[in-house]
Structure 1
Amino acid sequence: MFRVLDIILSLSGLILGMPVLLLITLIGVFDTGSPIFCQQRVGRNKQPFTLVKFRTMKVDTASVATHLADRASITAFGAFLRRTKLDELPQLWNVLIGDMSLVGPRPGLFNQAELTAARESLGIYDVRPGITGLAQVNQIDMSTPQLLAEWDHRMIQRLSLKHYFRYLLLTVIGQGAGDRVR
């Protein structure tokens, strides 16, 4: 049921959002020269997949978790994209092709050993990672790996159609602050 919703909603979002996607891409060309950011992330069953986002940091920024990144590396346009969560829009493609779900645990990086271990112990990798979820709308990010894994587990155990739409709605209206940046 969730996969069908993911396909319908992500395809609709990509089609209806095409003018916004194109505008952000164009502005991003002038902002960083490279508006699309691709990064290997840990997916379902710990399989790697390429996450697609709009670039919010300078091109030469090290590939680390957001909470470990330097605030000075975020561009002014990137800060706007993060604040409005528009940087996540390209992930609708990841959802459409089946790498991700709209709702699920945010995918971590392979170099986040503590988070990967905590999630593995709780069976988090049995499900597709998501764009948003319980932890995100409650401002719990990857800077607290064990806590994040516990909230991800709670979400997976209790996920219902009502929760699925609730997490999406809360994300769209701006609940949650996203990952902290130092």
Structure 2
Amino acid sequence: MKRTADTLIALVGLPIAIPVILLCMTAIRLSSSGPAIFRQTRIGLNAVPFTCYKLRTMYIDTLDAPSHETTSSSVTPAGTWLRRLKLDELPQLWNILRGEMSFVGPRPCLPSQKELIDARLVRGLYAIRPGITGIAQVAGIDMSDPQRLAEVDAEYLGKMSLRTDLQLILATALGAGRGDRVRT
């Protein structure tokens, strides 16, 4: 049921999101050089790597590292707003349609985040698709504390339901959580 709901919502949402994505892409290109869509390998369902799509919020020469290991000077002027409004996540609707992500689940991490991958494996979190938002993100917990993040993400396994998903999506849309933070 979760996969069906994800697919239906993404099918309805993507055509609505496309004009917003195009507007954001223009702002990105006006504020910095490089592609407007950012592609990065992340760890997904069954711990299988996949390509995650986002609107680019950092300069193209920024190190390929988790956001919490990146300084705020790496964020472009347009990126500051995109991150604050969480619009950088809109291209992930494509990942949802492809079956690589869900609206709600643990945020997908980089293959280099071994401690987080191991902590999630132990808790069975790779049995579900990663999400655009989740319990930890709404609580403001980023990936800088892998053990705590995995523990909070694991709470979702016991609470997983359509109602919980809708509550987390609504909380995210209303501004809960601060997204992936960068160092100042």
TM-score range, shorter chain: over 0.9
- Any gaps of 5 or more consecutive residues in structure 2? none
Residues 73-152 of structure 1: matches in 2 within 5 Å?
Answer: 73-152=74-153
In structure 1, the gaps of 5 or more residues are none
Q: CA deviation at 1:27?
A: 1.7
- CA–CA distance in structure 1, aligned partners of residues 107 and 54 of structure 2: 13
Per the normalisation by structure 1, the TM-score is: 0.98
Question: Distance between the aligned counterparts of 2:41 and 2:181, measured in 1?
Answer: 20
Query: What percent identity do the matched residue pairs reach?
Result: 49
RMSD: 0.8
Q: Count the aligned residue pairs.
A: 182
Displacement of 1:39 after TM fit?
0.1
Superposed displacement of residue 31, structure 1: 2.1
Q: Any idea what the Cα deviations from partners look like across 1:77-133, whole Å, max 9, x if unmatched? A: 101000000000000100011000000000000000110111111011111000001
| CA distance in structure 2 between the partners assigned to 1:32 and 1:48 by the alignment | 29
Q: What's 1:178 paired with?
A: 179
Shift of 1:167: 0.4
For residues 57 and 163 of structure 2, the distance between their equivalents in structure 1, rounded to whole angstroms, comes to: 32
**Counterpart in 2 of 1:13?**
13
The residue that corresponds to 1:27 in the other structure is 27
Question: Which residue is equivalent to 1:4?
Answer: 4
Q: Which TM-score applies when normalising by structure 2?
A: 0.96
- Per the alignment, residue 38 of structure 2 pairs with 37
Q: Secondary structure at the match of 1:143?
A: coil
Summarize deviations over 1:122-155 as a string: whole Å, max 9, x none. 0111110000011111101101100110111111
The SS at the match of 1:17 is helix
Report the Cα distance in structure 2 between the residues aligned to 1:4 and 1:126, rounded to whole angstroms.
17
Greater mean deviation of Cα atoms: 11-20 or 46-55:
11-20
**1:167 paired residue number:** 168
Give the aligned partner of residue 153 of structure 1: 154
Q: Distance in 1 between matches of 2:138 and 2:95?
A: 20
Q: CA deviation at 1:76?
A: 1.2
1:175 partner SS: coil
Give the Cα–Cα distance (whole angstroms) in 2 for the partners of residues 110 and 97 of structure 1.
20
